[in-house]
Structure 1
Amino acid sequence: MSDASDLSDIKRRMEASVNAFVGDVSSLRTGRASANILDPVYVEAYGSKVPLNQVANITVPEPRMLSVNVWDKSMVAAVDRAIRESHLGLNPIMDGQTLRIPLPELNEERRRSLVKVAHEYAEKARIAIRHVRRDGMDELKKAEKSGDISQDDSHSLSDDVQKLTDDSISRVDDLLADKEKEIMQV
C-alpha cells in the first residue's frame, strides 16, 4: 500500500459516498415541485433498470405539479409503476404518454415520512463509507503481512483511515440534520 495514494483513494471514495447522499436528499422535496424529486426513480426498461430521465422528459408546469412525458408508449405502465413504488408518496395520473403527478400538500405526517426517507438515505451513505473503511483496513493488513509496510506505519495509517471515516460520517449526520430541519419547517 503506497501511503498517500491509497489514503487519497479512500478519501475520494468516501467523498463520493457523501456526494451520493447529498444527491439523494436533494431529491426530497420541501414544498415546491422540482424535477430532481424523481432522480431516485429507476424504471425496468428493456431488460434493465435505468434512471427515469433516460426514458422520459420531466417538466414542472406548475408549482405543485410534475409532468413526465414518456418517449416510448410501451413504457408508460412501467414508469407509472416505478413512480408509485419509489417511496416518494406520489400518485401519477396517466394521460396518454404523459403522466401528471400532483404533489400533495406537505402535512405533518408527510413531512415525517420524508424525514424517514432521508434517514434511510443517510444510513445507506454510512454503510457505504464503512465499506470503504473496511476495504482500506484490509489493504493495510495485506501490506503489513507481505512486509510492504511496518507495523507502526500500518497502525498510523489505520488511525488515518478511521479519522477519514469519522469525518465523513459526521458530515453525513450534519447534512441529514440540516435536511431534516428544512423538511420539518412549515
Structure 2
Amino acid sequence: MTAGVDLNDIKRRMDGAINAFKNDIASLRTGRASANVLDPVVVEAYGSRVPLNQVANVTVPEPRMLGVSIWDKSMVGAVDRAIREANLGLNPIVDGQNLRIPLPELNEERRKSLVKVAHDYAEKAKVAIRHVRRDGMDGLKKAEKDGTIGQDDSRSQSERVQKMTDETIVEVDRLLVEKEKEIMQV
C-alpha cells in the first residue's frame, strides 16, 4: 500500500454496499411467496430495533401466504406494526401468537409500488457508496495535509477512488434495471 488510503479497503466497502443492495432487492419477490420478503422488516423489541427473524419464525404454508410465529406473546403488536410500516404493501392478520400474511396478487399498481421500493433500495446503496468515497477522499486530503503523500499521488489516488465510485454506481443501476424488468414482467 502506498501512503494515502487503502484502495482495497474502499473497494471492499463499496462491494459490501452492492451486496447489501442485492439482498434488499432479492427480498422483493414477484409471483410466489418467499420468506425473504420480510427480510427488511425491523421490529422495535426490548428497547432496540432488531430484524424480524430475531423475534419470530417465518414460514410459507401456501404459495400466496406467509406465516409468522412470534416467540414472545408481548411482541405480537410490535411485529404486526413493523410489517405494516415496512412499505411492503402487506396486511397481516393476527391469529393469537401467529400472523398470517396473504400476499396480494401483483396487479399493475402493486408492481409499480415494488419498483418504487427497489428504487429506494438503490438510492440507499448509492448513498452508502458515496459515504465510502467521501471517507476515502477525506483520508487523502488528511494524508496530503500531513505530508505523508504528495499532491500528484493524492490526485491520482482520488481519481482511482472516483473511478471505483462511478463503476459501483453503474453496477447498482444495472441491477436495478434487471429487477425492474423482473417485477414488471406479467
TM-score (norm 1): 0.98
The answer for the alignment partner of 1:78 in structure 2 is: 78
* Equivalent residue, structure 2, for 1:99: 99
Corresponding position of 1:64: 64
Q: TM-score, normalised by structure 2?
A: 0.98
Q: Contact 2:4–2:148 at 8 Å: present in 1 too? A: no
Whole-angstrom CA distance in 2 between matches of 1:147 and 1:2 = 13
Contact 2:14–2:129 (CA<8 Å) still a contact in 1? yes
Give the conservation status (yes or no) of the 8 Å contact 2:130–2:165: yes
Distance 1:169 1:23, change over 3 A: same
Compared with structure 1, are the counterparts of its residues 157 and 76 closer, same or farther at alpha carbon in structure 2 (3 Å cutoff)? same
Distance 1:92 1:125 in 2: 28
CA shift for structure 1 position 29:
1.3
Preserved contact between residue 28 and residue 114 of structure 2 (Cα < 8 Å): yes
Helix, strand or coil: the match of 2:68?
strand
SS at match of 2:6: helix
Seen in structure 2, the aligned counterparts of structure 1 residues 143 and 5 have a Cα distance that, compared at 3 Å, is: closer
CA contact (8 A) 1:25 1:121 kept: yes
* CA offset digits 1:3-29 (Å, max 9, x no partner): 597100100110101111111111111
Q: 5+ unaligned residues in a row in structure 2: which ranges?
A: none
Counterpart CA distance in 2 for 1:106 and 1:120 is: 19
Q: Given residue 113 of structure 1, which amino acid in structure 2 is its aligned partner?
A: S
Q: Which moved more, 1:53-62 or 1:3-12?
A: 3-12
Where does residue 32 of structure 2 map in the other structure? 32
Percentage of pairs with the same residue: 76
Specify the code of the residue in structure 2 equivalent to 1:141.
K
Partner residue, 1:161 = 161
- Give the unaligned 5+ runs of structure 1: none
How far did 1:2 drift?
A: 4.0
Residue correspondences, number:
186
Paired AA for residue 58 in structure 2:
I
CA contact 2:5–2:140 (8 Å) conserved in 1: no
1:182 paired residue number: 182
In structure 2, the residue matched to 1:6 is 6
Is 1:44 matched with 2:44?
Answer: yes
Q: Which residue of 2 aligns with 1:117?
A: 117
- CA deviation vs aligned residue, 1:88-145 (integer Å, no higher than 9, x gap): 0000001111100000000001000000000000001001101110110010011111
Distance 1:3 1:102 in 2: 56
- Label 1:121 to 1:69 Cα distance change in 2 as closer, same or farther (>3 A): same
Q: Work out whether residues 27 and 37 of structure 2, in 8 Å CA contact, stay in contact via their aligned partners in 1.
A: yes
What residue identity is the alignment partner of 2:76? V
Counterpart of 2:21 in structure 1 is 21
User: How many Å apart are 1:63 and its aligned residue?
Assistant: 0.6
Match of 2:28, SS? coil
